[in-house]
Amino acid sequence: MKNNTSLIDAINYRRSVRIYDESKEIDSEIVKKCIQQATLAPNSSNMQLWEFHHVTSKNILDKLAFACLNQSAATTAKEMVVVVVRKDLWKHRAKTHIQYLTQLFGKKPTNEYSGREKFALNYYKKIMPFAYGEFFGVFGYIKYGISWLIGLFKPSYRQLRKSDMRIVAHKSAGLAAQTFMLSMASEGYDTCPMEGTDSLRIKKALNLPYKSEINMVISCGIRKPEGVYGERFRVPFMSVYKQW
């Protein structure tokens, strides 16, 4: 499959490939393009609390394969992409949004901003600090309690604890990872998202900061026929589909 592939074709083509053909190379620039397309994925409040580490170095690939428990999807991979959650960068991302919006709306006195413009700026100046701000996890439980009190009288957003915001960041990174894998499928390239990994060793290999978190390690290459473990199996659709 190549460019101009339909979405359904890419979805059907994509499989978790466990063994790659080591005799077939892939183009790093195409992988990079697919990562760039992954950054277009939807994400919470457009905070983009992610990084994508594109690994082509044989030395680091070997370290990652070891950290991925030497599973064949890692040891035979030509390249890897590590999707990293950077919730710790929320202040920087919010500041970047404020700078962008100020440039977009134009620098002017506060009373000259429209209601929509004020809301957009305050979203990143006030709401994001409220949502992501923490003090040893204590503030999160205070926010959680406030949201439940408000929820007694009207709909309220309740996922405000530190652990909740961590989940939010990982969900966004997961959406980007899936977008990347579908983009790779549209190019005729194969991937495998690997769960069996030693995240501490991966962080060490990539020199990642302590507060970063590994969302997913995705191996890349060209499949061998035996690298796809049988026909795709899913439980019956009607067992998971609920219409109301």
Please report, for the chain, the start and end positions of each structural domain, with discontinuous segments joined by +.
Answer: 7-88+164-229, 90-156
* Cross-strand pairs, 191: 16, 220
* Rounded Cα gap, residues 81 and 75, in angstroms: 14
pLDDT at 210: 95
Q: Which CATH architecture has domain 7-88+164-229?
A: 3-Layer(aba) Sandwich (3.40)
Beta strands in the chain (DSSP E): 50-55, 79-85, 190-194, 213-221
Tell which residue, 157, 124, 153, 155, has the closest CA to residue 47.
124
Q: Which two tokens stand for residue 181?
A: 């894998």
pLDDT tens track, the chain, 244 positions = 555 679 999 999 999 999 999 999 999 999 999 999 999 999 999 999 999 999 999 999 999 999 999 999 999 999 999 999 999 999 999 999 999 999 999 989 989 999 999 999 999 999 999 999 988 778 888 988 999 999 999 998 888 898 999 999 999 999 999 999 999 999 999 999 999 999 999 999 999 999 999 999 999 999 999 999 999 999 999 999 999 9
Residue pair 161/141 in contact by the 8 Å Cβ criterion: yes
- pLDDT confidence of residue 204: 98
Three-state DSSP state, 148: helix
Query: For residue 59, what are the CA distances in angstroms to 56, 76, 157?
Result: 9, 14, 45
